[in-house]
Amino acid sequence: MEKYQLFIVLGILLIIIDSFILSFFLIPIGVGFITGGIFYYFYPEIFGFFIGFLIGVIPATYFSIKYSKKLKNKVSDIRELIGKEGYVVRQIDEFTYLVRFPMGVGGEELWNGYSEEKLNFGDKVKVIKIEGNKIIVKKEKTD
């Protein structure tokens, strides 16, 4: 097996492995190895591989970061939770509850929610405001 073929196969394997673990960390490296292997075929020096690797890995890293956040739908700013609905998982103390917020394909996020009214496991709550780093929730009325 030629070196350029080895680089391309290694890149494909990294992408396949990442598709199972969904880390979005190996995909840019895999793309870099594939483009590096292609460049190595045309410029059979290590310099050709590195140029190809950089040409592949830089845009792949950008798009990986951009789309992995969108796919996982993680909350990067606590203010994004205002208006979101979640479910009480358990009570932590008298006014604090662990609340699960479903977040699409990426699964869910758990946050501590504060409420002055008594909540029970499974109650549907809505974030009504943020005070500092506290999420204030209110029980949603069920029909």
CATH number of the structural domain spanning residue 90: 2.40.50.140
User: Can you tell me the distance from the alpha carbon of 80 to that of 100, in angstroms, rounded to the nearest whole number?
Assistant: 15
Residues 23 and 63 in one domain: yes
Longest Cα–Cα distance in the chain: 70
Residues 124 and 66 in one domain: no
Q: Contact at 8 Å (CB) between 52 and 37?
A: yes
Domain count, the chain: 2
User: Can you tell me the distance from the alpha carbon of 39 to that of 81, in angstroms, rounded to the nearest whole number?
Assistant: 46
Domain C-terminal end among 22, 45, 72: 72
**Whole-structure pTM value:** 0.52
Residues 57 and 83 in one domain: no
pLDDT band at 104 (very low <50, low <70, confident <90, very high): low
Residues 23 and 52 in one domain: yes
Q: Contact at 8 Å (CB) between 123 and 88?
A: yes
Residues 7 and 64 in one domain: yes
Residues 89 and 58 in one domain: no
pLDDT band at 67 (very low <50, low <70, confident <90, very high): confident
User: Can you tell me the distance from the alpha carbon of 44 to that of 7, in angstroms, rounded to the nearest whole number?
Assistant: 12
pLDDT at 137 over 90: yes
Amino acid at 30: G
Residues 106 and 135 in one domain: yes
Which residues form the domain of 16? 3-72
Alpha-carbon radius of gyration of the chain = 23
Q: Tell me: the pLDDT tens digits for 74-92?
A: 555 667 778 888 899 999 9
Q: What percent of the chain has pLDDT over 70?
A: 85
Per-residue confidence (pLDDT) for residue 143, from 0 to 100: 56
pLDDT at 36 over 70: yes
Look up residue 25 and give its two tokens: 């960390």
Cα dihedral: 110, 75, 115, 119 (round 10): -40
Residues 20 and 65 in one domain: yes
Residue with tokens 């075929």: 41
User: Can you tell me the distance from the alpha carbon of 133 to that of 114, in angstroms, rounded to the nearest whole number?
Assistant: 11
Per-residue confidence (pLDDT) for residue 68, from 0 to 100: 67
Residues 39 and 65 in one domain: yes
Q: Contact at 8 Å (CB) between 30 and 12?
A: yes
